[in-house]
Amino acid sequence: MKLELHRLFVKGLKFGEKTGFDKSSGVLSVNKAELLELISDDALLGKNLDVDLAIPGDKTRVMPVKDVIEPRWKIEGKGQVFPGMLSSVESVGEGKTLVLTGAAVLTAGKLVRFQEGIIDMSGPGADYTPYSKTFNVVLVLEPADPNMDKHDYEKACRMAGLKAAAYLAKACADVAADKVDAFEVANIRDAMNAMPELPKVGYLYMLQTQGLLHDTYLYGVDVKRILPTILSPLEVMDGAITSGNCVSACDKNSTYSHLNNPVIADMLKRHGKDFNFVTCIVTNENVTLADKQRSSTYATKLAAMLGLDGVIITEEGFGNPDADLIMNCQKAERLGVKTALLTDEYAGQDGASQSLADSCPEGNACVTAGNANEVITLPKMDKVIGYAEEANVIAGGWNGSLAADGSITVELQAITGATSELGYTKLGAYTI
C-alpha cells in the first residue's frame, strides 16, 4: 500500500466570500453562510447554529468541545475521507489525500455536557492542548429538540464536524501541495519475511467502546461490535477511524489525533532501523468481564499468530479501561510477546493516589502522559465561543469552577488533549 499526504500549510484563517486557500499567504478563507447551510441541512440540529474562528495567540476560549477533526479530501485513489461516515465503505490508505495541515474543525456546544473539554488559544491553558496551535473553525451546535435522544444528537454533531472538515479541504483540492509525504507498507506476507535481523513489532491500538456515548467507529462500524482485527497503519492515517466519544476531554482520542497518531508516525520512521513494524491490531474496550476476556484473548492471539516479538499498547480513557489494558499486557507477555504500555494517570490532585485501577507484574515498561487530576487556573479570556458555565459540570470541574471574574479552576482532565494516551499532547518529562 502507498499513501501520499498532500499538505497545504495553513498559517492564517478568516471569513471570506469564497472558501479556499491562498497559496501566497497560507490563509484559509471560509464562506460562513455556505458552511452554515451545509451543517444546518440536518433536521436533528437546531436553527441557532453558528460558525466562529479561534486563532492561535488570541484571548479566546472554546468550550465545551466534543471533537477535533483535521480537514481532508481524497484527490486520487479509491474511497473518500471518513469512509462509512460520509462516503461508501471503500478501503482507504492508498492514493493521494489533501490535508489542511495546521487547520482544524471543532464541534462545540452543550452536547453531553459533563464529558466535553476546554481549548484556550492563549495563556497557561494553551500550554496543555495541542489544539491551541491550530487555526480552528468552530461549529457551535444545538439540538432541534432539547429532549432529543442523546445518541441521535451526538451523531448529528459528529456528522456536522466530518462534513465541515471535508468541505473545507475539498474547496482547496485544486491547489498544489506545499509538501508531499509518501508512505508505503508491505502486505503481511512480505512484512513477515522482511528484515530477519530485526524484531517484529506491532501496535495494539485500544479504542474506547464502552457505550453510553463512549464510542469509536471503524469504517463507520461501532467498534464495540467487532472482534479485534488487523488494520494497516495507512488506513488509520487516511481516516478509517473516527471518534464518537463523549469521555473525559484530557484523554479522549479525537478524530484529529487518530489521523495524526504519533505512535504510528514514530513506528513508521523507525521501521527498518530499530524494528520491523508489521501491522496494527485494533481492539475495543468493553464493560463486561466476559467481553474484556474475549477481546484481550483474541487481540493477543493475533499478535502471537503473527509471530510478533513485541507490541506497543495504547489505552483510551481510564478506570474501567485500565482492566482491558492490563489484560492485554499480561496475556501478550505470557504468550511471549513483549509489551510497552502508554497510558495516563488519575492519581488525585496531590498525585499520591493509585495511578491506575489495575496492574500486573508483567507491566514493567510503561509511559505516562501525566496526571489528569492536577489542578490549573485558567484566566479570563476576552472571548468565549460556546458556553463558559459548562465549566461547573464538565469532568474535571465542579460547582464553582467558573469564578465571577471569568477565570476557571479545573483539573487537567477538562482540557482537550492534555494527557492524550496516544502521546498527542504537549506534556513531556525529563529525568533530573
20 within some domain: yes
Write down the pLDDT at residue 114.
65
Cβ atoms 96, 75 nearer than 8 A: yes
Give the H/E segment covering residue 16: none
For residue 402 the three cell numbers come to: 467558573
**Separation CA 94–CA 92 (nearest Å):** 6
Residue 57 in domain? yes
10-residue mean pLDDT series, the chain (432 residues): 97 98 97 96 90 98 96 94 91 97 94 83 97 98 90 93 98 98 94 94 96 92 96 97 92 97 97 97 96 97 97 96 97 98 95 92 94 97 95 94 97 97 86 72
Q: What is the pLDDT of residue 221?
A: 97
Q: Give the residue from 223, 206, 220 showing the smallest Cα distance to 263.
A: 206
Q: Would you state the pLDDT for residue 361?
A: 95
Rg, Å, the chain Cα set: 21
Residue 187 located in a structural domain: no
Residue at 363 is within a domain:
yes
CA dihedral 205, 210, 211, 216 (to 10 degrees): -10
d(Cα 25, Cα 15) in Å, to the nearest integer?
15
| 421 in a structural domain | no
Q: Residue 402: what pLDDT?
A: 97
Which residues does 350 contact at the CB level (< 8 Å), separation at least 6? Answer: none
Instruction: Decide: residue 311, CB within 10 A, 0-12 exposed, 13-18 middle, 19+ buried.
Output: buried
Question: Does 214 reside within a domain?
Answer: yes
**How far is it, in rounded angstroms, from Cα 420 to Cα 75?**
30
Residue of 157, 172, 246, 250 with catalytic role? 246
pLDDT at position 48:
86
In a domain, 65, yes or no: yes
Range of the domain at 52: 2-181+196-414
* The pLDDT value given to residue 363: 94
Domain count, the chain: 1
What are the residues whose beta carbons fall under 8 Å from the beta carbon of 425, sequence distance 6 or more?
Answer: 128, 130, 369, 370, 417, 418, 419
172 counts as catalytic? no
Q: According to the model, what pLDDT value does residue 87 have? A: 84
Question: Is 313 a domain residue?
Answer: yes
CA 416 from chain centre, in angstroms, equals 10
Question: In the prediction, which pLDDT does 88 show?
Answer: 84
For residues 4 and 181, the answer to whether their CB atoms sit within 8 Å is yes
Tell me the backbone φ, ψ of residue 55, rounded to 5 degrees: -110, 135
